[in-house]
Amino acid sequence: MTALTECKVDNFNAKLINDYVYNAIIRDVRKRSNVVTTYGVKNMIDFYFELFEKEIILKESFSESRHENSRLYTVVNNVLQYFPKYLSSEHLIGRACKIQVERRPFRDGYWMAVKRVLGNKEAYTQPEPDPAEGFARVKDIEDLTD
């Protein structure tokens, strides 16, 4: 695996197929505080998914909501098969999953969004990344639940 900084974050990649399901690994999880959204100021959690077949990374942001109907809850629960009381990036980074990609209109082109994240039971599994083989997390983050 390459380091996140060596692999291009590219949600505008036209090579991706709409509604196709890709094997992926969660490469990084980052928290952003006080983000201005359509629904007000919120804390956001950014997931970086590396697609095995394409060697690109897609970023998807989720509101920090822990409610069982929230997108974050659904993603975490699908990947881990439970939602931990104290959610940390350590729970998620390096986990294999499958993501369904959706092409959405954006300005003069399209944005490749992560429509759905499937969990470990449905995912292509591979051994845990070995740090000696170049797997590198860009940064550690504090507990996501603050």
Mean pLDDT (the chain, rounded): 77
Give CA–CA dist 19/66, Å, rounded.
Answer: 26
Report which of 58, 38, 44 is spatially closest to residue 117, judged by C-alpha positions.
Answer: 58
Region of poorest pLDDT, from 51-55, 57-61, 110-114 = 51-55
pLDDT number for residue 107 = 81
Task: Please give the single-letter amino acid code of residue 24.
Answer: A
pLDDT number for residue 14 = 58
Mean pLDDT (whole number) for 112-131: 64
**The residue to which tokens 């294999």 are assigned:** 96
Going from the N-terminus, what domains does the chain have, and what CATH number goes with each? 4-133 (2.40.50.590)
pLDDT number for residue 106 = 79
Q: Read off the pTM.
A: 0.74
Tokens at 10, concatenated: 């590219």
Report which of 83, 82, 100, 98 is spatially closest to residue 144, judged by C-alpha positions.
Answer: 83
